Amino acid sequence: MDLSYTAEEQAFRDDVRGWLAERLSKRLSDKVRKAQRLTKDDYLEWHAFLRERGWMAWHWPVEHGGTGWTPVQKHIFEEECVAAGAPRSIPFGLNMPGPVIIRFGTEAQKVYYLPRILNDDDWWAQGYSEPGAGSDLASVKMTAVRDGDHYICNGQKTWTTLGHFANRIFCLVRTDPNAPKRQMGISFLLIDMSSPGIEVRPIYTLEGEHEINEVFFTDVRVPAENIVGPENDGWTVAKYLLTYERTGIAGVAYSKQGLAGLKRVARDQRQDGWPLAEDPHFAARMARVEIDLMAMEIFNLRVVAAAGEGKLPGAEPSLLKIKGTEVRQEITDLMRRVVGPYAIPDLPEAFDEGWNGEAPGPDYALPLARSYFNMRKTSIYSGSNEIQRNIVAKHLLGF
């Protein structure tokens, strides 16, 4: 593939950059740059801007409200959004059930759910992991027993990101406990979070944030028409969804922005009278992560270009997930090392909008400990990196 940008692609970048400068509010971009907590209303504000321009579902097919962009345009758009300090688009509707419904859903499901996702009428959560089924999703125990025109669901989901905001959840459920292979007895079900029998409890992460939850289901009745794909073939649907999730976790644009900040700070910070960027050991680590990031960016473009041509990915999303999470973790670790003890303070109130207090050290040091701890989870969720290496070995080496 040609890795140089055409004149049309450069013009597209200018268009995106100009639109962001005009429509992205300073209040919102300041919150993102300062790593402040974003509310549901903040996300809805950003989504409204995207919807106004017709860029809400920029990776969907045109016939379902997408943009028809090329993979390179998608890459440019994400890069410019990160550089401008735009919030990330919450993926649990647009990037997960949306593409799944487009690919596997019935016409009735497409007509009902896709416009609601585009209009933010539905806010989705992901119901994959369970206490005994994280990276090994085939071990899910949440049951869905057919009862006439409904399924009766019982079980628990955990690590449910932003589940306290959601009004709907898509779940992997076990519909045939006697299937000869564990994957064969699983189905993909869409569930209304307001249904009787659902309880959401918060989980507070290492940095003290309420981002994730555990969700309990007790005799929850779900219409049978809410199943996506054939009964007991939810594993096929789940793998398709994970392809989107793992490719997105690579976070190339976020890593590029983080690396630029790391270089800038390392040039200013001094150790024994010299800029830290000139310390041989530290400079070598920065060079290594930059080389990894450059290689990953090219590989990411290759993968999305192949997907745009209709080629089914094999081990590529797993490779992107492994390297992408390792790069992001290394950058946050290096940033934390640059500022030393200034990365230690834990001031939860500092991440609320309107906080006017003082923190020790430079402003950019305040969120570093929070970012460092938050990035630890990236190599675990969406299938741990150890599981991804097994997938790579199976696809490429035949193990």
Is 198 in the same domain as 260? no
Alpha-carbon torsion 186, 187, 193, 194, what sign? negative
Decide if 71 is inside a domain.
yes
Question: pLDDT tens digits, residue range 152-163?
Answer: 999 999 999 989
Is 223 in the same domain as 151? yes
Whichever domain contains 282, its CATH number is: 1.20.140.10
CA 338/CA 342 separation, integer angstroms: 9
Question: pLDDT tens digits, residue range 31-75?
Answer: 998 888 888 899 999 999 999 999 999 888 899 999 988 888 888
Q: Considering 233, 262, 286, which residue would you say is the last residue of a domain?
A: 233
Decide if 21 is inside a domain.
no
Mean residue pLDDT of the chain comes to 87
**42-51, 151-160, 305-314, 383-392: range with lowest mean pLDDT:** 305-314
Domain count of the fold of the chain: 3
Question: pLDDT tens digits, residue range 140-152?
Answer: 999 999 999 999 9
Q: Considering 233, 263, 284, which residue would you say is the last residue of a domain?
A: 233
Q: Measured between alpha carbons, how far is residue 172 from residues 128, 346, 370 in Å?
A: 6, 37, 31
Query: 35 near 367, Cβ under 8 Å?
Result: yes
Decide if 305 is inside a domain.
yes
pTM, full prediction? 0.84
3-state secondary structure of 398: coil
Question: pLDDT tens digits, residue range 110-139?
Answer: 999 999 999 999 999 999 999 988 777 788
Active-site residue, selected from the candidate residues 78, 79, 214, 245: 245
- pLDDT at residue 272, as a whole number: 61
- 78 labelled catalytic: no
Is 258 in the same domain as 381? yes
- pLDDT at residue 220, as a whole number: 98
Rounded to 5 degrees, what are φ and ψ at 199? -130, 130
- pLDDT band at 356; cut points 50, 70, 90: confident
The boundaries of the domain holding residue 142 are 124-233
